[in-house]
């Protein structure tokens, strides 16, 4: 039988109140709390905590606290990926972020979604859709990346944008909703 965790990661409807998922979220919150309250000069402690939260990540990944996520284990970061202050990743589904991608302060990446029907929402059923962000992407401050979005290599997302649809490689995209403004030079 498939667990609620497997359903969640696979993008199938799942029960968010499942005890295993509740425990996983608590663990991630505890690690985020420890990361967010580590002394700024305690680089080794911070790196060890981040390795627990985001297992298997390259040592070149940098996260400036505070940082928040739902699980941590669904986030994959490439070499030199960077999160600035106050970033949030709701990682019920896989979130893949390429090498050298920069997230400015307040960037929010969401995989979580809820049924449109209030009756169905009341059952606690949720759905998560993966997010994929390519290499060498720059996401401006306060941008929101919605569930199921893919952002191509080398793209730039303007500050405050709400990205509801895929963004092709090497373009400047901005706005609410986010739209392509122009192509970027190679």
Query: Which of the following is catalytic: 6, 33, 37, 114?
Result: 114
DSSP 69: E
Concerning whether 114 is annotated as a catalytic residue, the answer is yes
Please give the C-alpha separations between residue 152 and each of 41, 62, 110, 168, 170, in angstroms, as whole numbers.
35, 21, 17, 5, 7
Per-residue burial over 97-131, b = 16 or more CB atoms within 10 Å of its CB, e = otherwise: bbbbbbbbebbbbbbbbeeeeeeeeeeebbbbbbb
Q: What are the Cα distances from residue 36, in Å, to 57, 63, 80, 110?
A: 18, 10, 20, 20
- Catalytic positions are 114
């Amino acid at each position: 039988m498939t667990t609620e965790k497997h359903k969640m990661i696979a993008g199938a409807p799942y029960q968010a109140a499942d005890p295993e998922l509740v425990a996983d979220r608590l663990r991630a919150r505890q690690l985020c709390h420890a990361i967010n309250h580590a002394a700024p000069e305690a680089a080794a402690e911070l790196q060890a905590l981040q390795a627990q939260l985001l297992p298997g990540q390259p040592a070149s990944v940098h996260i400036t606290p505070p940082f928040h996520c739902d699980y941590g284990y669904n986030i994959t970061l490439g070499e030199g990926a960077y999160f600035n202050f106050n970033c949030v990743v709701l990682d019920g589904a896989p979130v893949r972020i390429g090498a050298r991608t920069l997230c400015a302060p307040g960037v929010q990446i969401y995989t979580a979604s809820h049924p449109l029907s209030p009756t169905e929402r009341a059952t606690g059923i949720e759905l998560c859709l993966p997010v994929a962000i390519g290499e060498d992407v720059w996401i401006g401050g306060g941008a929101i990346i919605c569930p199921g979005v893919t952002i191509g290599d080398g793209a730039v997302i303007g500050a405050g944008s709400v990205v509801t649809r895929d963004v092709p490689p090497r373009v400047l995209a901005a706005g609410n909703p986010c739209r392509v403004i122009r192509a970027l030079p190679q």
